[in-house]
Amino acid sequence: MNNAIVYLVGAGPGDPALITLRGVECLQRADVVVYDYLANEQLLNHAPESAERIYAGKIGGRHNQDQEEISRLLIEKAQQGKVVVRLKGGDPFVFGRGGEECEALHEAGIPFEVVPGVTAAIGAAAYAGIPLTHRDFTASVAFVTGQEGKDKDESAIDWDRLSLGGGTVVFYMGVTTLRRNMQRMIQHGRSADTPVALVRWATTVCQQVLTGTIADIADRAEAAGFKPPAITIVGEVVTLREKLRWYDSRPLCGRKIIVTRAAEQAGEFATKLATRGATVLECPTIRLVEPESWQLLDIAIRELPGYDWLILTSVNAVRFFFNRLVALGLDARALAGCKICAVGPKTADAFRGFGVRPDLVPSDYKAEGIVDEFSRLDLKGAKILFPKADKAREIIPCELKRMGAHVDGPVAYRNILPDRLPPEALFALEKRSADCITFTSSSTVQNLAAMLGEELLLDMLKGVTVASIGPITSKSCRELGLRVDIEPEIYTLDALTAAIEAHFS
């Protein structure tokens, strides 16, 4: 039991990016994760695959386990010598019953650590554009349980001070008692015209905000069918929302978008979409691996001084080529006598990262654009090296050979199917909850069809907006029977992101 410890980790209000660095560190060490209803399940991805995951939240509106059972579970797992993470929505010590769990651990002699989280009131207010304090409105804020007094004859809340204090009041989990709580505030002196905001599923793609006054917010909530979980914010600061709202005014807010790029490439594109408000689900349909044999590429690299041109058509090609160059004990100086063609600005940037400036970057990023550029040159007798993916189109070597060049096209990397699709992305496809799916190469769509089956793919993508990076990828989509809704004029991630934004705006 030397390594045994229980970490009470605040998961934050919903957005998985709001967990603390310390919280992530604890999850990465976990042998067991006991998580709540309000803890975003994406956070479980930080835990090792071997970690036991135990759900202790609500099922059908009722708690799966009562508090005493949860405390016993934490103690039992820790006594087995395990590192246990108790992942709690918001902050463990703000209406999270973390104090009770720590008391139980203390009495059992179990070491524990509390990792604070962004509490729901702070997260909900910030993402709704409502500052809880403001020098022109109030210098105080009170956090109150919205469920207090449900089974009591008398409330323990000092309603007089709460109502007459003039500060911002935030009720936790008070939707079901909203009408009663608002009536109490009026009865104890708060103006019926005081602004109120309800924030549901705060900081997530499902966030909803409903505004009104103490007098009418309960009626508005009933008319809108507003359900828990939600935070109630009472105070004049609510009027600032119309000027300060930012989260739900972003162009892709509320949109769920699936990115099918290879895992090592998805991050950049996902970030572009996320900064515009989208919820991004990474669903790699490509796994990039080394060729079955390096022999042909190694021969070509050793003969680099004899080549006139090196053509690389992707960041991946640059990465695999230079990795092999280094593995053979060489560096960028080996390219001194060779001209460089980079297809697309990102590929050109990848070259520059290795200290090499391309001589040619075609304005058209398709294979046809490369052929067009080289058709203006005298290629008779020219020797060209074209390291490529195993499934690359043959138009470049074929056309350049027709122009009189000698072209060597060794395989630099292979494009294979991943072992499986991520459960979260698969769930979104099955439930038809995705708004858009993106394809950035023919392989991304062809591989997804291979993994799901063409018939199932077509069924799952009914009603889902299909975004393709360019005409070649769009052609592959249509060959499978998919309708392409978005295709930018320029075949880059920036252009694709802008086209998706324009489509949904």
Q: What is the pLDDT of residues 267-284, one digit of tens each?
A: 889 999 988 989 899 999
pTM: 0.70
Domain with CATH 3.40.1010.10 in the chain: 5-118
Specify the pLDDT at position 152.
59
CA distance 233 to 139: 15
Angle between helical axes of 315-327 and 295-302 (0-180°, round to 10) = 80
| Active-site annotation holds for 173 | yes
| Active-site annotation holds for 58 | yes
Residue 409 clears pLDDT 70, i.e. is over it:
yes
Specify the pLDDT at position 329.
95
**Number of C-beta neighbours around residue 424 at 10 A:** 14
Which fold is adopted by the domain 256-286+418-504?
Rossmann fold (3.40.50)
| pLDDT, tens only, 19-68 | 999 999 999 999 999 998 888 888 999 999 999 999 987 544 555 568 89
Task: State the CATH architecture for 289-415.
Answer: 3-Layer(aba) Sandwich (3.40)
Q: Tokens for 377, please give them.
A: 């040159």
Query: Counting beta carbons within 10 angstroms of the beta carbon of residue 137, is it exposed (0 to 12), middle (13 to 18) or buried (19 or more)?
Result: middle
Domain with CATH 3.30.950.10 in the chain: 122-249
Domain with CATH 3.40.50.10090 in the chain: 256-286+418-504, 289-415
User: What proportion of the chain, given as a percentage, has pLDDT over 70?
Assistant: 97
Specify the pLDDT at position 254.
83
Specify the pLDDT at position 60.
45
| pLDDT, tens only, 468-488 | 999 999 999 999 999 999 999
User: What proportion of the chain, given as a percentage, has pLDDT over 90?
Assistant: 80
Q: What are phi and psi of 100, to 5 degrees?
A: -65, -40
Mean pLDDT of the 347-367 span: 91
Specify the pLDDT at position 2.
67
Residue 338 clears pLDDT 50, i.e. is over it:
yes
DSSP, residue by residue, 377-396: S--TT-EEE--EETT--SHH
Of 464, 473, 405, the residue nearest 440 (C-alpha)? 473
Q: Which among 15, 82, 88, 173 is annotated as catalytic?
A: 173
Mean pLDDT of the 494-499 span: 96
Specify the pLDDT at position 63.
56
Specify the pLDDT at position 368.
87
Q: Which among 31, 36, 91, 435 is annotated as catalytic?
A: 36
Going from the C-alpha of 117 to that of each of 11, 34, 35, 94, the distances in angstroms are: 6, 16, 14, 9
CATH 3.40.50.1980 fits 5-118, yes or no: no
Specify the pLDDT at position 201.
92
Specify the pLDDT at position 31.
97
Q: Tokens for 287, please give them.
A: 């796994």
Q: Which among 58, 346, 383, 391 is annotated as catalytic?
A: 58
Considering only 140-154, 215-229, 259-273, 315-329, which range has the smallest mean pLDDT?
140-154
Specify the pLDDT at position 153.
61
Task: State the CATH architecture for 122-249.
Answer: 2-Layer Sandwich (3.30)
Specify the pLDDT at position 469.
95
